Structure formats: C-alpha cells, structure tokens
C-alpha cells in the first residue's frame, strides 16, 4: 500500500486564490469578478497585482454571472468568485442561458461548498451544486481534493475553452498531492491499488478514503482508490477498468447522493457493467451548524462511513 | 442613408415579421413591430458594424437583445443587413433552424452574441461586453434593448446600479417603452412608476425618444445618445413606442404580444405595408 503523508493542512480556497494569482501573472486575458467575498475567496493578491482586471460587483450574483458572460465577448477569461450556494442555485437560470447555452468561456469558482463550511449552517451549505451543474449541457464540473490540486486545477481551466464549475471549500485539510502536478481535466488519478473493492472519491472525501483504506488494510481488505477530481466529463475507463478487477464499488462525496458523483457512476455501471455499489454522501437532507468534523461524522461522510460502506458492498459482492 | 430608404426598410421588415409568425402560427409580432424603426435605425444608420461576423466584435459596435422574444424583427434586420441570407427567414421556428424562437448562439447564427429569452439578463451581459471593450482600449459602443415590462426582473436593477457606479459610459441601453406586457398594461400588471426618475436617481443619463416609431426621430435620438457617451455615465434611451405599430388592428393593445395573424389578418397586414425591397 502506498503511504500518503502530509506536513501541513491548508484550505482548498487558498489553492484557488494562489492559482488565480499565478494566472494573473501569466495570462493577460484572465479577469476576476467577486460578489463581496474577496477575503473568503482569497482573491486579494490577484486584485493587488491586477486592479484593472478585477470587477467587484457587490452583493449581486445574478449580475455577476451576466457580466462574466459579456466579458468573454472581447476575449476575456472571467473567473467568478463567491460561495458555492450563490454560485449555482441562486443564479441557475443566469448560468443556464447566458453561460451554458451561450457556451461562454466563464469559470465559475465556488468556495464553501458542502457541509464543511461549518457553523454558518444549512442556508450556506449547498449539497446540490454538483447535480445542478452537471445537468447543464457542456458544463465541466471539477471538485479537487487539496490545496495543491485546487491550485493546479485553477491554472488548468484557463486553458480550456468553455464553461467550467470549480468547487472547493473552507476548512484546512491535509495537503498530500504533489505541488508540481499537471492537472488534466477528466483524467482520474489512481491513489491506491487493490483488488477487493473500488473506492471512487472526490473533493474533501479523497483524504477520508485514504484514511479508511489504512484501517481496511489492517483487516486484510485491499482497495483500489480513485480520485475523481472531474465529475463531468467522468473518466469512465478508469472506473470500468477498476471494477473489472474488484467487482464492487463505493462512491464518496460531500454532496447529496441524489444527483452527485455516485449517481453518475451508477449510470455508467448500469449501462456497461452492473456492479454492487454503495453511496457515501448526504442522504436527501439539509445540513446544520457545527464544526466540519462533527458534521461529517453526523451526516455520514467520513472515514468511518466509508469503512462501513466498503464492508457492506464486499458482503453484497460475495453473496 | 436617406430617410426614404430607411422607411422602405421599415415597411419590408414589418412584412417579414408578420409573414414569419404567420407561417408557423407562433411568435411575437407586437413588440417586434413596435421596435422596427429602432432596429432599422440601429443597424443601418447608428452602429459601426462588420457583417463578416466575429463573436469578439473588436473595434465594432455591439448590440444585445435582452427581450429575446422579439426575435422576428432582429432576424429580419440582421438578414437584410447582410449577416445571413434573407431566404433563411423562411426557417423561423422550424426544426433544425438557426432561427430559434428566441435568439441563441447555439446554432451559430451570425449576428447573435448571447442567448436571450429568459428575461432580465441582457443588461448584465452588455455591461460585461462594454467593460471588455474598455480593457481592450476599444472605443466602440455597446447597445442593448430591453422591454419595459422586463424591468420588473430584479437583475436589471443590480445591473443599473452597477453600470453607473462603475462608470460604464460606453453603454447605451434602450427601453422599449410601450406600456404593455402579456397580461395587460404595465400600469395594471405592476406599475413601473417614473422610469426616467428611476434611471436618473441610479446615476444614468436619460434620453427620451418621444416618437419611437418615427424613423427620423429615432435616428436623431440615438445619434444624440452616441454623442453623450463617454461622459462618465451610462445612457438610457426611453423609446416611446406603440406595440404592434404599422398594422392598425394590432396597435394599442397587448393582445398581439405573442399571437400570430391568421390568413385574412395577414392579408390585411400586408395591404397596410406594401412590398418595398422584395419579400424573401
């Protein structure tokens, strides 16, 4: 089993902020917009270095999405920044018509996704955003797992022509992926090799999956662990190849199991190679106030939940 | 362009509009007819454009239609200005057409830079395009058109507040001020109050075109708007029009907002608007 360690914890939103700052230096067409959350989105360095390429729109997310669409007409590459809830549900029709249907080169960058924003509670904890975004034709949906991967993803999406939803979060989480990684949209990353079960994880749940695998290994269970940072387009080959070997799968995400990564995987499997699957995610519920760790435990999206799901799915396979 | 030639275009555009909606028994003739003079003036007299279409539109004026349901007038004027073949108007609202019910970039129709139809989004897009022009040191202008009823959508007021705060003075946003919407007059449905005072209070310069269906007055008003651009304020043109203008039984009512004429009504409409430049 491969060892994953970390020397520090950092928030994925800082990966976005630092990626944006680098883009400011390397790509003159990159512009940024924010709806009164510059500090939360870590955009200040970009603004300090490129004040003329930053647009503060105030608390007006619908207007921000429209302005971003307009900025592409003239060759700009706009990155919008606000919380995930206000980046998606609040402005769904603006994204649908002015960005997705019009195929505008806008990068919708969303922080504070999921339960782990913590104490602000359910009004801000969107658990439906992956579903909303993946249903839009032509929309790329990315949910990186740590600081380094979020920074690499931020830089990579500027090179891709078309709308992208980039989802990241607030809490400080282990930095365990390489700081010199090349991010390839739609290309899954194999983190562990095993033949008993496949674990497909995205976002903050990738680290939880690695922690779960350590304990499972002690019990003699060896898992294939795949980091699916891109939910759409899904790396179908990587998943199908893995389940050929393992014969069962657990999907895990900081999102409602209705409409998330798990459902994309289920569709893939049912149409290609029906396979026992267990879903680790929130189950048709809103969140609540609490610390990130408390919430992940209560809502069943942590290491322990993954271990339980793995044992259940292996039992189903062996029945 | 001589006034006579512009008037010929207006008559022909009206014919195109009613023939398009009649053929498919659907579409929106009322607002299209009310804005015919505006579109003809804009595309043949006011804007500096390149009909060899390029999405980025660098160094040319841009236009965004926010109230996308008046697509018939937009399509007719784009075709007759040379963006695409006039014969293509025959495909309006048909399967596999580039002329969708509401305008879209999706099928690659030259002249369209954004999808519209879901109301209230066009001003934000126009602002973004105007700010891109400033970043590109491109001194050309951005024009947009909005329904008056459409201003009931809140996103407009976000955009109106933003445009003046950020001094987007290369934007000329026109409101089709016909006082009508689907369910009745704007006064009955949800009063807009005093639009001129509202835009002024939001920091815009307002220009009224009192006779929005008089081509000379429209050219004059839009020329004035162009002259006033670049002075630190976005410009609002209140274009006073008559919904259904040019066809007597469609005028002064909201009834023809989204209804097509039957055979007999088409004939009457065409009698009132003689062919000038050749039907498609």
B275 has a chain A CB within 8 A of its CB: no
Kindly determine whether residue B162 and residue A71, on different chains, have CB atoms separated by under 8 Å. no
The gap from C-alpha B129 to its chain's centroid, in whole angstroms, comes to 17
Tell me the mean pLDDT in the region B104-130.
98
Residue % of chain B over a pLDDT of 90: 99
Residue B62 contacts A, CB cutoff 8 Å: yes
Burial of B54 (0-12, 13-18, 19+ CB in 10 A): exposed
Q: Does B159 touch chain A (CB under 8 A)?
A: yes
pLDDT value of residue B20: 98
Residues 6+ apart with CB under 8 A from B229: B141, B169, B170, B171, B172, B235
Domains of chain B from N-terminus onward: 3-271 (3.40.50.970)
- Least CB–CB distance from B56: residue in A60, A67, A75: A75
Specify the pLDDT at position A294: 98
Residue B252 has pLDDT above 90, yes or no: no
Q: Which residues touch A284 (CB under 8 Å, ≥6 apart)?
A: A256, A257, A258
How far A111 CA lies from chain B's nearest CA (Å)?
A: 22
Whether omega for the bond prior to residue A159 falls within 30 degrees of 0, making it cis, is no
The beta-carbon neighbor of B128 closest among A66, A96, A97 is: A66
What average pLDDT does this structure show over B51-59? 97
Q: Which residues of A are catalytic?
A: 61
Checking if the pLDDT of B213 tops 90, the result is yes
- A103: tokens are 């195929």
Closest to A229 (Cα-Cα) out of A190, A278, A197: A190
The Cα diameter of chain A in Å comes to 63
DSSP state at residue A35: S
Does the pLDDT value for residue B157 go beyond 90? Answer: yes
SS3 label, residue B227: helix
In the predicted structure, residue A171 carries a pLDDT above the cut 90: yes
The per-residue pLDDT for B123 is 98
Distance from CA of B246 to the nearest CA of A (A): 32
Collect all residues of chain B within an 8 Å Cβ-Cβ radius of residue A97: 115-118, 121
Find the DSSP H helices in chain A: 12-26, 38-41, 44-49, 61-72, 84-87, 92-94, 129-134, 147-157, 205-218, 236-246, 261-272, 292-298, 303-318
Contacts of residue A63 in chain B, CB cutoff 8 Å? 124, 127, 155, 158-159, 162
Chain centre to alpha carbon of residue A201: 10
For residue B197, what is the enclosing H or E element? helix B195-201
- pLDDT (0 to 100) of residue B128: 98
Asked if the C-beta of A14 comes within 8 angstroms of chain B's C-beta atoms, the answer is no
For residues B16-37, average pLDDT: 98
What was the pLDDT predicted at B167? 98
Q: Does A150 touch chain B (CB under 8 A)?
A: no
Distance CA B64, CA B172 (A): 10
- B 113-142 residues inside an 8 A Cβ radius of A: 113-118, 120-133, 135-136, 138
Q: Which residues contact A227 (CB under 8 A, 6 or more apart)?
A: A145, A188, A189, A190, A191, A201, A202, A206
Confidence of residue B102 (pLDDT cuts 50, 70, 90): very high
Q: How confident is the model at residue B270 (pLDDT cuts 50, 70, 90)?
A: very high
pLDDT category at B32 given cuts 50, 70, 90 is very high
Given a cut of 90, whether residue B248 has pLDDT beyond it is: yes
Side by side, which strands form the sheet with B235-240? B62-65, B142-147, B171-177, B235-240, B205-209
Distances (CA, A) of B189 to A172, B94, B192, B193, B255: 51, 32, 9, 12, 14
Walk me through the domains of chain A, giving residue ranges and CATH numbers.
Answer: 9-174 (3.40.50.970), 189-318 (3.40.50.920)
Q: Is the dihedral of CA B18, B22, B24, B26 positive or negative?
A: positive
CB contact under 8 A, B128 and A73: yes
- By C-alpha distance, the chain A residue nearest B126 is A70
Query: Is the separation of the CB atoms in A310 and A212 below 8 Å?
Result: yes
% chain A with pLDDT above 90: 100
Distance (Å) from the C-alpha of residue B275 to the closest C-alpha of chain A? 35
* Averaged pLDDT score across all residues of chain B: 98
């Amino acid at each position: 089993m491969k060892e994953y360690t970390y020397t520090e914890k950092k928030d994925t939103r800082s990966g976005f902020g630092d990626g944006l700052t680098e883009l400011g230096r390397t790509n003159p067409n990159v512009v940024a917009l924010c709806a009164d959350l510059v500090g939360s989105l870590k955009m200040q360095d970009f603004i300090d270095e490129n004040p003329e390429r930053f647009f503060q729109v105030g608390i007006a997310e619908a207007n921000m999405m429209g302005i971003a669409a307009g900025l592409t007409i003239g060759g700009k590459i706009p990155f919008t920044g606000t919380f995930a809830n206000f980046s998606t549900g609040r402005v769904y029709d603006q994204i649908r018509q002015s960005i997705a249907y019009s195929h505008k080169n806008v990068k919708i960058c969303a922080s504070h996704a999921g339960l782990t924003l913590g104490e602000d509670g359910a009004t801000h904890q969107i658990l439906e955003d992956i579903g909303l975004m993946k249903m839009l034709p032509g929309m790329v949906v990315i949910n990186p797992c740590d600081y380094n991967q979020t920074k690499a993803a931020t830089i990579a999406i500027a090179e891709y022509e078309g709308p992208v939803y980039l989802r990241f979060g607030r809490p400080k989480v282990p930095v365990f992926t390489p700081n010199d990684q090349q991010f390839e949209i739609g290309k899954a990353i194999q983190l562990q090799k095993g033949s008993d079960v496949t674990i497909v994880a995205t976002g903050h749940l990738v680290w939880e999956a690695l922690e779960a695998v350590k304990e499972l290994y002690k019990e003699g269970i060896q898992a294939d662990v795949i980091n699916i940072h891109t939910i759409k387009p899904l790396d179908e080959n990587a998943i199908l190849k893995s389940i050929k070997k393992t014969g069962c799968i657990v999907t895990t995400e900081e999102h409602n199991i209705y409409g998330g990564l798990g459902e994309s995987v289920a569709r893939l499997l049912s149409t290609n190679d029906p396979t026992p699957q267990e879903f680790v995610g929130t189950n048709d519920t809103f969140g609540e106030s609490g610390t990130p760790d408390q919430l992940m435990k209560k809502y069943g999206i942590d290491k322990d939940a993954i271990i339980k799901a793995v044992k259940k799915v292996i039992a189903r396979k062996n029945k | 362009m001589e006034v006579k030639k512009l008037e010929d275009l207006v008559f022909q555009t009206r014919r195109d509009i009613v023939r398009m909606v009649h053929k498919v028994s659907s579409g929106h003739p009322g607002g299209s007819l009310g804005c015919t003079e505006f579109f003809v003036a804009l595309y043949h007299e006011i804007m500096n454009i390149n009909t060899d279409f390029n999405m980025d539109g660098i160094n040319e004026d841009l236009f965004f239609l926010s109230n996308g349901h008046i697509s018939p007038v937009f399509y007719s004027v784009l075709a007759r200005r040379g963006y695409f073949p006039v014969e293509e108007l025959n495909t309006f609202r048909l399967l596999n057409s580039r002329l969708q019910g509401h305008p879209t970039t999706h099928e690659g129709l030259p002249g369209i830079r954004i999808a519209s139809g879901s109301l209230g989004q066009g001003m934000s897009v126009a602002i973004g395009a105007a700010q891109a022009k400033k970043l590109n040191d491109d001194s050309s202008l951005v024009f947009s058109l909005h329904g008056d009823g459409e201003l009931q959508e809140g996103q407009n007021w976000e955009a109106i507040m933003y445009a003046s705060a950020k001094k987007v003075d290369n934007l000329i946003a026109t409101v089709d001020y016909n006082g009508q919407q689907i369910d009745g007059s704007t006064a009955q449905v949800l009063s807009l109050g005093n639009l001129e005072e509202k835009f002024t209070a939001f920091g815009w310069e307002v220009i009224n075109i009192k006779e929005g269906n008089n081509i000379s007055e429209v050219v004059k008003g839009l020329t004035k708007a162009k002259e006033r651009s670049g002075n630190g304020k976005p410009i609002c043109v209140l274009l006073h029009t008559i919904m259904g203008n040019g066809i007597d039984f469609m005028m002064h009512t909201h009834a023809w907002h989204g209804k097509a004429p039957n055979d007999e009504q088409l004939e009457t409409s065409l009698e009132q608007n003689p062919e000038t430049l050749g039907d498609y």
